[in-house]
Structure formats: C-alpha cells, structure tokens
Amino acid sequence: MSIAHHAVRWSAWSSILPALLLSTLSPLAMAAEAAAPVAPIAAKTAWQETRHGTVVTDDYRWLQKKTDPAVIDYLNAENAYTAAVTAPIQPLADKLFGEIKGRMQEVDLSVPVRMGNFYYYTRTEAGKQYPINCRRPVGAKGAYDAQAVEEILLDQNRLADGHAFFSVRAFAVSPNEQLLAYTTDTTGFRQYELHIKDLKTGKLLTDTMARVTSLAWAANNATLMLAQEDATTKRSDRLFRLNLGGAPEQVYHEPVEQFAIGINRTRDKQFFVLESRSTDTSEVLLLPTNKPDGTFAPVLKREKGHRYSVEHRAGQLYILTNKDAKNFRIVSVPLSAPQAKNWRPLVPHNNDAVIKSVDVFQDYLVVMEKARALNRARIYDFHSKQWKTVQFDDPVYLAGAAGTPEFNATQFRMSYQSPVTPPTVIDVSMQDGQRTVLKQQEIVGGYDASRYATERLWVTARDGVKVPLWIVYKKGVKRDGKAPLLLYSYGSYGISTEAGFAISRISLLERGVVYVQAHIRGGTDMGEAWHEDGMLMKKKNTFNDFIDSADYLVREKWTSPNRLIIQGGSAGGLLMGAVVNMRPELFHAVHAAVPFVDVMNTMMDASLPLTTGEYLEWGDPNQKAAYDYMLSYSPYDNIARKAYPSMLVTTGLNDSQVMYWEPAKYVAKLRAYKTDNNPLLLKTNMGAGHGGASGRYDAIKENAFNTAWMLSQWNISE
C-alpha cells in the first residue's frame, strides 16, 4: 500500500497525556511489584467526520501525529510492554538468531555480471551489515578473471556508519564507465538522495538531488534523466534533466494523480524510456539517449485500460500489450510507425499463461510467463525463428530472470529455487537451451534437501474456483491434525505468491512446523483474471480464498485451529485483519507485519494523490456502493466485542507505504474491544520503515524474534 503523510485533526493534549502516562508503567516497575506486565491503554479523543450522511468517529485519530512526543511515548510504552511480555522467549530468539546466522555464508560473493568492460558484483564480509559493490576488468576472451584488480565502487558499510538505517536503490554506471550515479536512504521512509561518484578519483561530485526514484544516463556521459517524487505525496510525478555541473531542469510533469512515472533505457541503450503507469493504464514515451536535450514522444497515446511496455531492436519496437489480450501478447512494429494497425504478432495471447516480462537482445528474445502458478522462460531466435522453453520439473518452484544487461548476450541468466532448493544462479544458452549452474547458495553446516517434502495442493473455494497452495514440511510429520502449521499469503496488486526458499524456514521445519502459502485471488498467480477477481468489488474473494484454504488444511488434518498460525504483511496485513474479524476461532495466532488495516480513514483522505491512485485497486469510497463494500471488510472498522487469536503486530516508525499509525490504532482499538486474554503485542522499529531493519544481522534478529514468538504460541520452547 503506497500511502504518504495524511492530514489529521488535532485535539489539545491536556486531556490525553495524564491518562496515557498512567497507563504506561515501565516493565522494571512492574517486575519490581512482581506483577504481570500491564498493557498500555491508549487514550480516546473526540474526532468525527460525516461520510455519506453517517457520522463516523475515530477514537485514536491522535496517534496520527508523528511529531507529537506523546505519540512516541505511547509507541515506546507498547515496545516496553512487548519486551516485558516476551522476555521469557528471548533465549529462544537468541538461539534462532544463532541458527539462522550459523547457516549463512557470512563471507560471500555474488555471481559477477558483465557490463561493458567490467564484471560487477557484490561481496559481504563477516560481521558487516551491508554489501560492498565492486568490479573487475573483463579478462581474456571476455571471461571473468578473479585475479584481476578489484575496484571498490561503494562500501555500503562505510556509507551506513552512524545511521540506524541505510539503503541503496539506484546504481548506474555511465556509458564511459567513469561515473557512478546512485541513491541512498538513511531513514527507511524510502526518500532517496542522488549522489554521483567519480570512479577515477573516488570523490563525489557536487551534483545532487532529493527524492530521486529512478534515473538513466545519456550517451554523452554528462547528462542524467531523473524521476523525482513529491515531497508530501511520494508520487513520482516529475522528470528532470541534469547536466552535470548545472541545475536540474524539469522536462516532464505527470498531472494525473492516478499515475506515477519511471525512467530507464532500452537494453541497446539507444532510447530513454519514460513510463507513466496507473493500476490499469500505461503510456510510454521515448527519447534518443544521444539527444538528451530533445523532447519525449509517446509511442502510443494513453488509452484507458491499455497497459503496455516497449523494447527496441534494429529499428523495431517490441510491445508487450494487453490490448485485446487480458494475459498480454507481444507484437513488433516499426519504430517510425508504432500504431496498432502496423502491429505484427509475435507471441499470441494465451488464456492459460500470463506474460510477465519480455527481454530483447541482439539475436534473441526471452519471454517470462506464469502458468498455473509456475514460471517458465521461452526463448526466441530471431534468425532461426525457433522457440525453446525453459522450465523445471519440481512440483513447485520459483524461476525468473536474474539480470542480463548486455544487448549482445548469448547467455540468459536465470535464478531458480524451490521450497527445498536453495537459490541457484543459472546461465541458459539462448542458442541451444543448455543450462550451466554458476552458483547455489551455500548452507553452512550442511543441508540435506531429501529430509523435506514439498507438494502442490488444490483447494476448492466456496464459489467452485480451484485455488493452488504449496506446502513444505519435514518428512515424517503426521497428518493427524496435531502438527503446528504456518499459513502465509498476500493477495493484492497482482503480486503473486512465490514458492521460494528461506534459510530461516529450516528452523521451523526442523521443529516439526508445516509451512504453507496460498495463491489466493488478488495476485496474478493464475493470470490477470486472478487479480481482477480479487480487487475492487470482488476483494472479498481474497479473504474467502484464504479462509477456505485454512478450512481445507484443517479438514485434511494437516493441522487444527489450535495449531494454526497465520502471517501476512502490508496488503497481506489487511488480509490478516479481515480474516480474524470474519473467523477468529479458525486461527490460534497471527503475525501481522506493517498491516494496511485502517482502510477507510486512509482511503477517505482524498487530498493525497496516492490515495486516489489506490482507488483503482480498492475502489473509490466517494461512491456509496464502493464505500459500503470497503467498509464491510476494513479491519479497523470491523473490530467487535469478541474473542480474537493471539496477535503480534509489527511496524516501522518511518514506514512510507503503510504509516505506523495504522497498526498502532488497530492495536489500541482491538485491545479495548476484545473479550479474551490472549496476547496482543505491538512492536515498532523506531528507526526503520516498511521493510524493517536494513542491516542483514539486524534483519535476522527481527526474524528470529518473530519466529520465536510464533513457536511460543505452539508451546515449542527449544
């Protein structure tokens, strides 16, 4: 959920602070009194708004004012309460941290990628939180030479020094390979600042710019195109041209609030590609990279409902389009006459497979498709006009493009993993389809995949639709309804649930936990229609699919309600909030991460372009029918006086996607309403954003805590 700062209505703190302070005794004081920790009770304040003729109240609106010290005091009190309640599981969390860290190859090197005259890679060093970006000159016959002199481009550990959070986003080397443009964020709010480094001298240029979301170099090595987001709304709406040493000059503005822009280049580096995109519509504009002072020209005029992207090769455009093709098709057309009447079909529409991406090279074209929740690659030879298919035999897996930047490449780099197979980097010959394994993630201490089993399951949802799941477990687990089971899903924005590998999951599997992910509607796991059937006025299909999946797992004796824990984050946190309101008795415990739970208050704030842009996913609440439908499932608005599962809610103070106050308000209201004595915990990372901790060891520590909490809910203490 892409949500920026929201305006608030504010009341005087004279009535709030005393009540708040009375409710937040320190853990030390509580321990001294030999009493159980007491949960903070958030104060209630009067706030009302009339919506469609109905007066709506929000008792916890005051939590939306991040700058008020009392809000920070409240979040700190919740953190202190969580720390006190979970103190007994901290030894388990420490043990899990050691397990996960112990399996990780601390000193490691990514597979080098050739770009121009260098091979680029990252490496990690023991004890250091962040990777180091490096390159080496290309060796004899174009090979990677591990003995060539290494050049350190960015030591992210040095850049992160003194910051609780650090992230690099853009990373682009100039065509002459002498300058590096990159962007950094030091708060977690995902506002990235531009830096340009002279790779000869190692010094930074004086050129900089705030809130850069994407960038691309011109052919002259002296000009950058930069997309910038609005300071308040975080919508990328302006494109600037920066001639090094000069001031940025705006060259494009996207006025429509539902659209955001991004800038990149075609793989042959001949054109800048400026894409403006909303949920259901896109427009692409091109400009030759050797004419950065020119004007961007649209390939095809914006047309409601038409989504397309383009690549270029030898005067031809290759267009991935959903025009008359829900799951997309690919056409070619002369650059000089891109109108639909001139399109020549290359890859037809397929009802059973959605095209996710297309990569165009000098001699080949690679199409990534998803069919029945599995990915595959299809390679086209422009000269022989023959196709080859790259797919894998496992029942569930995740395969995808892994980055092949060179236009004249003859090897297509792919990544492959499955719930039992560690991430593997593979080069596929585009000429004959032969595969070469370059690297598989090492599991320190040994790893035996044969100890585990993974399967594809199919659930019949209440409306008759077949919903796929994937499951992984340690062999020998009995299907008697007693196994602890963790069920995860997402189900929004067309984002698919993928069958990947996780080192941390081994700790669960070894303790007998069964792990399941459900490909519920709202993603594109089964095609574009799968997304459409889980959005707008069909959004409840997402929640029903998840509940039906859980019911199936209980019915088939994979687990039982008192052994079933569920997990989801962001829009998957909306899923968590919705399903526990609908069927609280079905779940034993819940981990909701950075959850989008305050749907109506967020979506009714029409002053923000990002909010109105989200209307295309959730609905426009200014329309009564959409308002009523969204209100009927909004987690915050449907909290009731009944028993709820145990819950751990995690968030970040600097979250730019789902503001911290959504989970904070949700926990405050839930604590006031629920009738059970089950744990309800809020844990806020006060120095991070939507993705949590940025350092790899800090991220493991967060993961270990969350895992320890879930294990404790299954009464697993070792």
Residue 423 · residue 415 · CB < 8 Å: yes
Active-site hit among 236, 237, 690, 694: 690
Residue whose entry in the numeric block shows the structure tokens 């691309």: 216
SS3 664: helix
Instruction: List alpha helices for 169-245, DSSP H.
Output: none
* Planar angle of CA 638, 643, 576, nearest 5 degrees: 50
Residue whose entry in the numeric block shows the structure tokens 């297509």: 412
Between CA 74 and CA 705 the distance in angstroms is 21
Nearest-Å Rg of the Cα atoms of the chain is 26
Between CA 24 and CA 31 the distance in angstroms is 13
Name the DSSP letter for residue 117: T
Q: Is there a catalytic annotation at residue 489? A: no
Residue 456, class by beta-carbon neighbours within 10 Å (0-12 exposed, 13-18 middle, 19+ buried)?
middle
Beta bridge partners of residue 379, listed in sequence order: 366, 388
Between CA 517 and CA 472 the distance in angstroms is 9
Supply φ then ψ for residue 204, to 5 degrees: -85, 140
Active-site hit among 504, 637, 655, 694: 655
Between CA 158 and CA 133 the distance in angstroms is 12
Active-site hit among 276, 418, 570, 712: 570
Q: Residue 443: name the closest of 463, 422, 464, 425 by CA.
A: 422
* Widest pairwise Cα distance in the chain: 81
The neighbour count for residue 271, using CB atoms within 10 Å, is: 25
Residue 583 · residue 503 · CB < 8 Å: no
Between CA 590 and CA 602 the distance in angstroms is 23
Supply φ then ψ for residue 493, to 5 degrees: 60, 15
Q: Is there a catalytic annotation at residue 519? A: no
Q: Is there a catalytic annotation at residue 195? A: no
Q: What is the dihedral of CA 213, 214, 218, 221, to 10 degrees?
A: 70
Q: Give the DSSP letter string of 572-614.
A: HHHHHHHHHHH-GGG-SEEEEES----HHHHHT-TTSHHHHHH
Q: Residue 505: name the closest of 481, 488, 483 by CA.
A: 488
Name the DSSP letter for residue 237: E
Residue 13 · residue 70 · CB < 8 Å: yes
- Residues tagged active-site: 570, 655, 690
